[in-house]
Amino acid sequence: MLRQQGIVAIIGVIVVFAILHLGFAPEHHDPRTTGTTMLGGIAFLLMTCSIVLSTRLDIFEDLFGGLDRMYQVHRVAGVFAALTALVHFFGVPKDLPEGVDPVANALVPSAPLGMLGLIFLVIGLFIALNRKIRYSRWRPTHKMMALVYVLIIGHFMTAPNVFVEQFSASGLMIILAAIIGVISLIYSLFGMNRRTALPFRIEAVNALERATEVVLTPVGKMLDFKPGQFAFVEVQGKGWSEPHPFTISSAPDEGQLRFTMKVLGDWTRKVREELQPGGEVKVRGPYGRFDAAGAGKKQIWLAGGIGLTPFLSKLRAMQPDDDRQIHLVYAARDQQDAIFLDELKARAAKLGNVTLVPLFSDEGHFARVDKMKENLPDPLSTYEYFMCGPKPMVDGLMKGLRKEGVARKNIHTEAFEFR
Ligand SMILES: Cc1cc2nc3c(=O)[nH]c(=O)nc-3n(C[C@H](O)[C@H](O)[C@H](O)COP(=O)(O)OP(=O)(O)OC[C@H]3O[C@@H](n4cnc5c(N)ncnc54)[C@H](O)[C@@H]3O)c2cc1C
């Protein structure tokens, strides 16, 4: 779940900037100049926040509720930055104030730098939001946004004093943000945002129904993780391109790592067709905050298809003395598609505190809030919910639960995508 602390921190930075900018505006500035330069500053701060989030630092995971949430905020901050920058561009006075020499002003590169930055920002945003572009192509293009940031710094630093005063209180805040932003850019662009890679040997590659289970044995240190967390998997060898994120489906005390990968595109198909036991894999992580251990005593776990993986790890880690009451709703296409169903049944029977509810869409059964209301012993608002599955399913359930009075803080979701 997206935690409010992170959003409050971003809003706080923007509010402080606005107060400083409006409160200490130079007397010779007309309201339009003050207002539009403030919007330019806000756009820059939003871009900086977006860049800082791409550092993937642990502290931000705590603040925002996991890496998947950080990337959602990264995207939204980018969109708002572009919109605010557009308003700034159209609103900022184009005529030079009296007394400013147009020839001297023409020699200052602020306007062309800003214009270029804005054009690249808008193009970059269209590319960033285009889901049709393959991830492996999209990623290097997205990194070009770093250029936009540098152009905008140039635009601000060379802007004539009649528009902004770089060394005013709000100007200094922008300069500080630029320093943090540039350090974050270098950190991310040079791959320092990837957590230390631990080497693993491929123990087994098991073909399942439309998915592959990859079992890894640590070569040295074992990855320390909590059930529900994920990691980036990097297969060593030619043609294996960039790391891919997968939820760890094993329990932390198994001594091995298990990932269950749905066959979706080129990389996951290659895993199924070409990955061989004995090969080397690097695992970076763990990431994520989809943790049910510290939540309420009555929990509903809603898994759709491959969205079962975080719950698989939680269930595999669960001890017989666990005092939570858990309903695991597992929605799949049909019996065959419901991977690990037999294991889930056996574990639920052994544990005693887990009620398993398999639902097959081919038989006309879906995860539905009205059915949950009918079948659960207590009112819906008394449970804590954990959901992972296809977006339409998660969005639909979220809407239904909210309508039934379930507090937002009691609904936790894990997104299987970053963009
Ligand atoms: C936090 C998280 C946990 C996940 N856990 C699981 C899991 O347990 N089991 C499972 O089957 N899938 C999981 N996924 C999804 C999995 O990462 C993608 O299905 C996989 O990377 C697809 O790669 P592809 O090249 O085969 O498919 P493509 O068709 O190329 O990609 C399909 C989707 O995956 C995204 N994607 C592709 N490559 C990457 C990458 N390198 N980094 C980030 N996103 C990428 C794309 O944006 C696209 O939306 C998880 C994703 C995230 C973000």
Mean pLDDT of the chain, nearest integer = 91
Q: Tell me, using a 6 A CB cutoff, whether residue 384 lines ligand 1.
A: no
> Which residue minimizes the CA distance to atom 38 of ligand 1?
135
Can you tell me which atom of ligand 1 is nearest the CA of 66? 1
Q: Are 77 and 64 in contact (CB under 8 A)?
A: no
pLDDT of the residue at 358: 96
| C-alpha 263 to ligand 1 mean position (Å) | 10
pLDDT band, very low/low/confident/very high, at 404 (cuts 50, 70, 90): very high
Residue from 148, 185, 159 nearest 51 by CA: 185
- Domains along the chain with CATH numbers: 4-189 (1.20.120), 197-287 (2.40.30.10), 298-413 (3.40.50.80)
Task: Supply the DSSP string of 26-58, one letter for each residue.
Answer: -TT--HHHHHHHHHHHHHHHHHHHHHHHTT--H
pLDDT (tens digit per residue) in 272-281: 999 999 999 9
The pair of structure tokens assigned to 279 is: 């090969």
Bridge pairing between strands 197-208 and 211-218: antiparallel
| Region 313-323 average pLDDT | 93
* Identity at 386, one-letter amino acid code: F
Q: Tell me, using a 6 A CB cutoff, whether residue 417 lines ligand 1.
A: yes
> Which residue minimizes the CA distance to atom 31 of ligand 1?
265
pLDDT of the residue at 415: 86
pLDDT (tens digit per residue) in 117-174: 999 998 988 888 888 888 878 888 888 899 999 999 999 998 877 677 778 899 999 9
pLDDT band, very low/low/confident/very high, at 28 (cuts 50, 70, 90): confident
| C-alpha 235 to ligand 1 mean position (Å) | 14
Token pair 């979706």 is found at: 264
Q: Are 248 and 284 in contact (CB under 8 A)?
A: no
Can you tell me which atom of ligand 1 is nearest the CA of 245? 17
Q: Tell me, using a 6 A CB cutoff, whether residue 40 lines ligand 1.
A: no
> Per-residue b/e over 344-360, b at no fewer than 16 CB within 10 Å?
beebbeeeeebebbbbb
> Which residue minimizes the CA distance to atom 26 of ligand 1?
265
Identify the DSSP state of 22: H
> Which residue minimizes the CA distance to atom 19 of ligand 1?
264
Classify residue 330 as exposed, middle or buried by CB count within 10 Å of its CB (0-12, 13-18, 19+). Answer: buried
How far from the centroid of its chain's Cα atoms is residue 348's Cα? 31
pLDDT of the residue at 127: 87
pLDDT (tens digit per residue) in 319-363: 988 999 999 999 999 999 999 999 999 999 999 999 999 999 999
pLDDT of the residue at 109: 84
Q: Tell me, using a 6 A CB cutoff, whether residue 314 lines ligand 1.
A: no
pLDDT (tens digit per residue) in 51-93: 999 999 989 998 998 898 899 999 999 999 999 999 999 998 8
> What DSSP element (H or E) covers 408?
none
Q: Are 272 and 298 in contact (CB under 8 A)?
A: no
Token pair 């639902």 is found at: 359
pLDDT of the residue at 100: 66
* Identity at 396, one-letter amino acid code: G
Q: Are 145 and 128 in contact (CB under 8 A)?
A: yes
pLDDT of the residue at 84: 96
Q: Tell me, using a 6 A CB cutoff, whether residue 246 lines ligand 1.
A: yes
Confidence check: pLDDT of 26 > 80: no
Q: Are 129 and 164 in contact (CB under 8 A)?
A: no
Task: Report helix, strand or coil for 293.
Answer: coil
